[in-house]
Amino acid sequence: MSDRYQSFTASPIGQLFVKNLGLPSPVKLDRWTPGAPLVDGTVVVGGEGRLTEGVVATLDGLGVASTRKAEEGEKYKGLVFDATGLKTAEELVALQQFFTPLMRSLKTCARVVVLGTNPTQTETAEERIAQRALEGFTRSLGKEIGKGGTVNLVYVAPGAESTLDSTLAFFLSPKSAYVSGQVARLGATGTKKAAKVADQEKPLAGKVAIVTGASRGIGEQIARVLHRDGATVLGIDVPQAASELTSVIKELDGDLLTLDITAKDAPQRIAHHVKEKHGGVDIVVHNAGITRDKKLANMAEDRWDSVINVNLVAPERITRELLDQGLVNKNGRIIGVSSIAGIAGNVGQTNYAASKAGVIGFVDALAGDLKNDITVNAVAPGFIITQMTAAVPFATREVGQRMNAMSQGGLPVDVAEAIAWYASPGSTAVNGNVVRVCGQMMLGA
């Protein structure tokens, strides 16, 4: 399941081909490993607004070196621009003034974060226009930056200024290797405060996390990353996957349950297990998913039903049962796994895309309703290299892998890191988001 094109372009002969034919040349992306610094270099903080002071203090708290003044000849690993002070379209030129001189001073896999105010929460029409403009700026810069760099926009609601820690830690570090051109919203719905993370190395210490579909692929990596961050993982998968699930969960010293999440009594069985063995749950990741592709003209009802049931109905029913029984702990997290197909649509995937767009609806529907600082968010992966995508025909797979700003497919760990960001106790203000983990795929952009 390796990316043979990427290995080829890294070879001397491959580099010659790339250069002469103008082919895409994927950069080896930085990925975080325990013990490594969050940011391997200095971050320049620019702009002036209600977040500037807090950003500098947050970076300091995270152990990230920052400066307000770039030095000529220096190379930087990250740029953070506080655009909350921009109140009119004319003032947007501050973006050009800050970024243009710095764009050639970035290291590989550099991180750019633009901070703004939710356009719907601005005070004047002029400010709303200026803040909305940040999206176009960010998405374009994401396509320009190259060399494995990422560019993301974080809208911070008034009152949510103190909630930046977990979000900056994610977007400035290699944990966001495959997340670019995205807009995250802090404090848009629900609480505008964040719990302090006691231990940055093990932010999930003492937490219990359910991961469905944990025996392989993305689910396995989610289980591994949540365990790395300190959580006890309850992995769930179908009985046919029992031996793979057992070996993953054994390694993580976790707990497991084999059942089909679409079974009529699955929500009750999960709730019963959680109650008896753990007393409650802090993080619920609805990862299990299937595809049964056919053009609609040839779609049998059972293909339609099975996809909708696994990907959408089961997460809804399980969440409802856990919430109704009061088993989701305070500051809990409900996390869905959508897909780029749910945003852009895809030939042969009316059933799958409907289910994955439904996951976005699930986030929208719950976000305003949850109590006790419980949040709901989803990731929407693009092309992630797993057994699911290995089954895609070669030509389609090649196009899928290259049609993004990184010219490569993502890894399951990239999805898992985004989920770990949502799961952090410091992410209470991160509610109602759907962030794509797609290397800024051109589809549905």
Ligand X SMILES: NC(=O)c1ccc[n+]([C@@H]2O[C@H](COP(=O)([O-])OP(=O)(O)OC[C@H]3O[C@@H](n4cnc5c(N)ncnc54)[C@H](O)[C@@H]3O)[C@@H](O)[C@H]2O)c1
Residue in 384, 411, 413, 418 binding ligand X, rule: CB under 6 A: 384
- Helices 242-251, 217-228: crossing angle, 10 deg rounding: 20
The count of C-alpha atoms lying within 13 angstroms of the C-alpha of 155, restricted to the half-sphere facing its C-beta, is: 26
Asked if 352 contacts 346 with a C-beta cutoff of 8 angstroms, the reply is yes
What's the CA gap between 148 and 29, in Å, rounded?
6
- Binding piece for ligand X, criterion CB under 6 A, among 11-19, 72-80, 196-204, 233-241: 233-241
What's the CA gap between 385 and 390, in Å, rounded?
7
Asked if 24 contacts 439 with a C-beta cutoff of 8 angstroms, the reply is no
Q: Is 387 in the site for ligand X (CB under 6 A)?
A: yes
Q: Is 381 in the site for ligand X (CB under 6 A)?
A: yes
Residue in 47, 219, 267, 439 binding ligand X, rule: CB under 6 A: 219
CB nearer to ligand X: pick between 263 and 365: 263
Q: Is 260 in the site for ligand X (CB under 6 A)?
A: yes
CB nearer to ligand X: pick between 381 and 426: 381
The active-site residue out of 5, 155, 178, 352 is 352
Residue in 288, 416, 423, 441 binding ligand X, rule: CB under 6 A: 288
Q: Is 261 in the site for ligand X (CB under 6 A)?
A: yes
Categorise residue 213: left if φ over 0, alpha if ψ from -120 to 50, beta otherwise. Answer: left
Residue in 92, 205, 290, 354 binding ligand X, rule: CB under 6 A: 290
Residue in 47, 190, 213, 235 binding ligand X, rule: CB under 6 A: 213
Which residues, numbered 26-45, are part of the site for ligand X (CB under 6 A)? Answer: none
Burial 410-441 (b: 16+ CB within 10 A, else e): bbbbbbbbbbbbbbbbbbbbbbbbbbbbbbbb
Least distance CB 400 / ligand X (angstroms): 8
Least distance CB 290 / ligand X (angstroms): 5
Instruction: Please state, in angstroms and as integers, the Cα–Cα distance from residue 314 to each residue in 130, 321, 401, following that order.
Output: 41, 11, 30
Residue in 98, 171, 383, 421 binding ligand X, rule: CB under 6 A: 383
Q: Is 76 tagged catalytic? A: no
- Binding piece for ligand X, criterion CB under 6 A, among 157-165, 169-177, 284-292, 327-335: 284-292
CB nearer to ligand X: pick between 204 and 379: 379
Per-residue binder mask for ligand X (CB under 6 A), 321-360, x = binder: ----------------x-x---------------------
Asked if 309 contacts 265 with a C-beta cutoff of 8 angstroms, the reply is no
Q: What angle do CA 215, 216, 222 make, to 5 degrees?
A: 85
What's the CA gap between 35 and 200, in Å, rounded?
11
Least distance CB 374 / ligand X (angstroms): 21
Residue in 84, 152, 287, 319 binding ligand X, rule: CB under 6 A: 287
What's the CA gap between 292 and 308, in Å, rounded?
10
Q: Which residue has the tokens 């226009």?
A: 129
- Binding piece for ligand X, criterion CB under 6 A, among 4-12, 20-28, 167-175, 215-223: 215-223
Asked if 217 contacts 189 with a C-beta cutoff of 8 angstroms, the reply is no
Q: Is 233 in the site for ligand X (CB under 6 A)?
A: no
- Binding piece for ligand X, criterion CB under 6 A, among 87-95, 199-207, 283-291, 425-433: 283-291
Q: Is 226 in the site for ligand X (CB under 6 A)?
A: no
Complete edge-to-edge strand list for the sheet that includes strand 328-337:
255-258, 232-237, 208-212, 281-286, 328-337, 375-381, 434-437
Q: Is 388 in the site for ligand X (CB under 6 A)?
A: yes
CB nearer to ligand X: pick between 70 and 299: 299
Q: What angle do CA 431, 324, 326 make, to 5 degrees?
A: 75
How many residues bind ligand X (CB under 6 A)? The answer is 27
Asked if 347 contacts 389 with a C-beta cutoff of 8 angstroms, the reply is no
Measured in degrees and rounded to the nearest 5, phi and psi for residue 245 equal -65, -45
Nearest to 41 by CA among 98, 87, 89, 105: 105
CB nearer to ligand X: pick between 158 and 444: 444
Residue 384: CB partners within 8 Å, gap ≥ 6? Answer: 218, 409, 410, 411, 412, 414, 415, 437
Q: Is 408 in the site for ligand X (CB under 6 A)?
A: no
Q: Give the residue at shortest CB distance from ligand X.
A: 289
Q: Is 417 in the site for ligand X (CB under 6 A)?
A: no
Task: Tell me the catalytic residues.
Answer: 352
Residues lying near ligand X in the complex (CB under 6 A) are found at 212-213, 215-219, 237-238, 241, 260-262, 287-290, 310, 337, 339, 381, 383-384, 386-389
